[in-house]
Amino acid sequence: MSSDEVLLSASGVSKRFNVGSRGLLGGRLQLSAVDNVSLEIKKGETLGLVGESGCGKSSLARCLTRLYDVDEGTITFDGRDITNLGRRQMQPLRSEMQMIFQDPYGSLNPRRRVGSIIGDALAIHGNRGKGTRRQQVQELMEIVGLNPEHYNRYPADFSGGQRQRIGIARALALKPKLIVCDEPVSALDVSIQAQVINLLQDLQREFDLTYLFISHDLSVVQHISDRIAVMYLGRIVESGPVEEVFTASSHPYTRALLSAKPIADPRAAEQRDRIVLAGDLPSPISPPSGCRFHPRCPKAEQDCVTVVPTLEILRGAGPDAQRVECLHPLEADQDLSSFTPSIADTIIGADAAATGSREVAS
Amino acid sequence: MVLLHVTDLNVSFDTDDGVVKAVRGISFDVDRGKTLGIVGESGSGKSVSTQTLAGLTRGARVSGSAQFDGLDLIKASPSQRRSVLGRKIGMIFQDPLTSLHPAYRVGAQIVETIRAHDRSISKRAARLRAIELLGMVGIPFPSERVDEFPHQFSGGMRQRVMIAMAMALDPTLLIADEPTTALDVTVQAQVLELMRKVQAEFGTAIILITHDLGVIADVADDVAVMYAGTIVERAPRDEIFYQPHHPYTEGLLDSMPGRVERGQPLRPVKGSPPSLIDLPPGCPFAPRCPYRFDRCDQEVPVLQTVFGDEQHQSACFLPTEIEERKALREQLVEKGGIR
């Protein structure tokens, strides 16, 4: 399975988008989507990337696959620096990194037959395997559990789960090394979702694939990943092997996220401590000072407002280390719900004050 | 005490491809102050059934009855229904952005809801009530935000506004159709917490429609599992999670990541749901069922009491004796019928 060989690594990657200006004489407004992110993906592993909507998961994935140009940092793929490669230089590498998208409806061209949707990549990058293109495509369809006789059908003739299988076949066509799965099962019903997850895991074993698996569903990520990275407002706040992060998370945000995870087990759900975070994700256009999580953090202290924490190793070493970006990380046995947000109200006002005003009202 | 009593509700739609039988003869009760969770996959009829109660399924063929507060919601005239909806039955939907009018201030929309049902309340009093409601659902600075537009609120905040609006006239029943599906987990936790609080404070009964068993585990008292337009199993929450009888309920639970050990494959239900135009002759779940036997293809099972528990009903021909049912599952697991 996973070795210690690194397939993709990013160091200090940042991505900003221009989103208009601050009036006539003001400067440009910039949205900081990805901020100083470093991570490594090992050959044959699944790295789960979790976080709430708008935290920069997809932007980061697009930077790593060079669908976006990055503003800062370097990206290395298979031992080669790809940060500044041009379009043409990237072309041969494209076949080695493929993507599977969330929306099985929007990501397939409705006017094209399944055979050509899957076969296009082969046409563009040149046939690699044996047999005609049709034979290869039908073989792929069989691998992902589609009926090869449906070669000439249109996407509209397939259900959501089957369409996601088409997307997977298309990603597999060029025998990639890395597949970025961007919320691949979020649009599917539970029973279908489980089928697709099993398929992805079977394919990983069979073809020695490496996955970057993006999802907001923590149960799915926990099930499929070897290591996970938790993102908050453009930064990775905690990362490490999945068991360690799930059982001994030390970033308050990770802890809150895990405690909010719905679990299909009423007794377990009743027993655990719920940490209900106040407020919403702040705007990435003007992120909070210091630690970006401090306005919502129950454990924040004065230095969190001014000092920007960096991702530090907590335990272990190398890619398998558990890293956390927090000035005051939680001990494994510490209970986050025992902390009361002390500085939140005074500093951020609006959203974080939600808890305060609720108490007044009730 | 029963607040809503639905019997033999049928809803079908005429389409170019044939008649879509979206809801087929479902019956259920909602008790005062309790939460009924209706769980099912897309197309199972869970939303259509409650939308029909609210008169929102235009052009559908509807039969059956739904007794609510001395009124049959199905046979009621539009004006009778209007007197109940909004006042005694509040509704919240999945998408809080499209359920709010983008061009009106949120306060004005709440005021309108209040005054549509009671003209005797002055605009000023209704506005004060709107501010009070916004505060109750945890909107910070309610007296300022009452004059803002929906786009100035985040997704979670909008859903709070929807709850405020639904609670404006202190309804006895709240229908929540996938209220947290569009929200992130941390915000979902806030909204579920709020619904619990509202229920505890006002004794509101809730029908919670969701596809997420995790949400059901969190808030429901009773659960109805829907499949292909019918209720296939109905029981108190813990029964559903720890002693399911129907193979579909079992399959849904087995499909959940987090219920199997890491590294083990999930045990999904094979295949996909049937077309509601062309249903199989017997049990609608038979084509996907790992237990399927001959009778399943010929006869349609009806809900019957199982495990000797009046509150637990399942529409399946499998043994109703708990030990026998368990033994069958073990056999099947051994044979590899359930991976």
A277 touches chain B (CB under 8 A): yes
> Which residue in B has a C-alpha nearest to residue A162's C-alpha?
B272
- Tell me the pLDDT tens digit for each residue of A76-100: 999 999 999 998 999 889 999 999 9
Chain B contact set for A57 (CB, 8 A): none
Distance CA A23, CA A41 (A): 42
pLDDT score, position B184: 83
CB contact under 8 A, B268 and A243: no
Query: Look-up: residue for tokens 């987090």?
Result: B258
CB contact under 8 A, A191 and B252: yes
Indicate whether B193 pLDDT > 80.
yes
Do the bridges between strand A80-81 and strand B35-39 make them parallel or antiparallel, or are there none, so unpaired?
Answer: unpaired
Instruction: Please write down the HEC assignment for all residues of chain A.
Output: CCCCCEEEEEEEEEEEEEEEECCCCCCEEEEEEEEEEEEEEECCCEEEEECCCCCCHHHHHHHHCCCCCCCEEEEEECCEECCCCCHHHHHHHHCCEEEECCCCCCCCCCCCCHHHHHHHHHHHHCCCCCCCHHHHHHHHHHHCCCCHHHHHCCHHHCCHHHHHHHHHHHHHCCCCCEEEEECCCCCCCHHHHHHHHHHHHHHHHHHCCEEEEEECCHHHHHHHCCEEEEEECCEEEEEEEHHHHHHCCCCHHHHHHHHHCCCCCHHHHHHCCCCCCCCCCCCCCCCCCCCCCHHHCCCCCHHHHHCCCCCEEEECCHHHCEEECCCCCCCCCCCHHHCCCCCHHHHHCCHHHHHHHHHHHC
Indicate whether A326 pLDDT > 70.
yes
A224 touches chain B (CB under 8 A): yes
Q: Which two tokens stand for residue B65?
A: 């009855």
Judge whether A348 and B122 are in contact, CB under 8 Å: no
Judge whether B286 and B269 are in contact, CB under 8 Å: no
- Distance, in angstroms, between B226 CA and closest chain A CA? 13
Q: Which residues contact B286 (CB under 8 A, 6 or more apart)?
A: B280, B292, B296, B297
Share of chain A above pLDDT 70, in %: 91
Judge whether B233 and B246 are in contact, CB under 8 Å: yes
Query: Look-up: residue for tokens 């509209």?
Result: A156
pLDDT score, position B271: 86
- Tell me the pLDDT tens digit for each residue of A237-267: 999 999 999 999 999 999 999 988 888 888 8
Residue spans of alpha helices (H) in chain B: 46-53, 78-84, 96-99, 106-117, 123-136, 142-145, 155-166, 185-202, 213-219, 237-242, 247-255, 294-298, 322-335
Judge whether B288 and B280 are in contact, CB under 8 Å: no
Share of chain B above pLDDT 70, in %: 99
Judge whether B222 and B292 are in contact, CB under 8 Å: no
CB contact under 8 A, B186 and A52: yes
Confidence of residue A342 (pLDDT cuts 50, 70, 90): low
A264 touches chain B (CB under 8 A): yes
Q: How distant, in Å, are the alpha carbons of A213, A295, A345, B318 from that of B303?
A: 41, 52, 53, 12
CB contact under 8 A, B214 and A197: no
Query: Look-up: residue for tokens 């708008």?
Result: A54
- Tell me the pLDDT tens digit for each residue of A66-78: 999 999 999 999 9
- Distance, in angstroms, between A290 CA and closest chain B CA? 22
CB contact under 8 A, A276 and B189: yes
Chain B contact set for A46 (CB, 8 A): none
Distance CA A114, CA A104 (A): 13
Do the bridges between strand A210-215 and strand A46-50 make them parallel or antiparallel, or are there none, so unpaired?
Answer: parallel
Q: Which residues contact A85 (CB under 8 A, 6 or more apart)?
A: A66, A93
Do the bridges between strand A97-100 and strand A178-182 make them parallel or antiparallel, or are there none, so unpaired?
Answer: parallel
CB contact under 8 A, A269 and B272: no
Cβ neighbours around B252 below 10 Å, total:
27
A27 touches chain B (CB under 8 A): no
pTM above 0.80, yes or no: yes
Of B193, B237, B262, the CB nearest to A266: B237
CB contact under 8 A, B257 and A269: no
pLDDT score, position A196: 92
Judge whether B52 and B60 are in contact, CB under 8 Å: yes
Confidence of residue B72 (pLDDT cuts 50, 70, 90): very high
Q: Which of A102, A191, A195, A253 to mutate to test the interface with B (most CBs of B within 10 A)?
A: A191
pLDDT score, position A117: 93
- Distance, in angstroms, between A309 CA and closest chain B CA? 23
Q: Which residues contact B263 (CB under 8 A, 6 or more apart)?
A: none
Distance CA A352, CA B57 (A): 40
Distance CA A184, CA A193 (A): 9
Q: Which of A183, A185, A190 to mutate to test the interface with B (most CBs of B within 10 A)?
A: A190
> Which residue in B has a C-alpha nearest to residue A158's C-alpha?
B272
CB contact under 8 A, A357 and B138: yes
Indicate whether A356 pLDDT > 80.
no
Indicate whether B152 pLDDT > 70.
yes
Chain A contact set for B189 (CB, 8 A): 259-260, 274, 276-277
Of B139, B186, B188, the CB nearest to A256: B186
Residue ranges of domains in chain A, CATH in brackets = 6-96+176-361 (3.40.50.300)
Q: Which residues contact A125 (CB under 8 A, 6 or more apart)?
A: A94, A95, A174
CB contact under 8 A, A264 and B217: yes
- Tell me the pLDDT tens digit for each residue of A174-187: 899 999 999 999 88
CB contact under 8 A, B218 and A159: no
Looking at domain B2-224, which of 3.30.70.580, 3.40.30.10, 1.20.1740.10, 3.40.50.300 is its CATH number?
3.40.50.300
- Tell me the pLDDT tens digit for each residue of B237-294: 999 999 999 999 999 999 988 887 777 888 888 888 888 998 989 999 999 999 999 9
Find the largest Cα–Cα distance for chain B. Answer: 70
pLDDT score, position B52: 92
Distance CA A120, CA A68 (A): 23
Helix (H) or strand (E) holding B154: none
pLDDT score, position A293: 93
Distance CA B314, CA B234 (A): 6
Q: How far is CA B159 from the centre of its chain?
A: 17
Helix (H) or strand (E) holding B70: none
CB contact under 8 A, B184 and A191: no
Q: Side chain identity at B180, as an amino acid letter?
A: T
Chain A contact set for B262 (CB, 8 A): 222-223, 242-243
- Distance, in angstroms, between B155 CA and closest chain A CA? 9
Task: Please compute, for residue B224, the number of CA atoms within 13 A of its CA located in the half-sphere on the CB side.
Answer: 24
Mean pLDDT across the stretch A297-304? Answer: 90
Question: How many residues are present in chain B?
Answer: 339
Indicate whether A349 pLDDT > 60.
no
Q: How many CB pairs under 8 A join A and B?
A: 151
Q: Which of A55, A199, A223, A253 to mutate to test the interface with B (most CBs of B within 10 A)?
A: A223
Of A201, A218, A355, the CB nearest to B185: A218
pLDDT score, position A345: 46
CB contact under 8 A, B252 and A190: yes
pLDDT score, position A71: 95
Q: Which residues contact A288 (CB under 8 A, 6 or more apart)?
A: A282, A294, A295, A348
Q: How distant, in Å, are the alpha carbons of B107, B153, B167 from that of B202?
A: 22, 26, 9
| DSSP code of residue B157 | H
> Which residue in B has a C-alpha nearest to residue A223's C-alpha?
B262
Find the largest Cα–Cα distance for chain A. Answer: 72
Give CATH 3.40.50.300 domain extents, chain B. 2-224
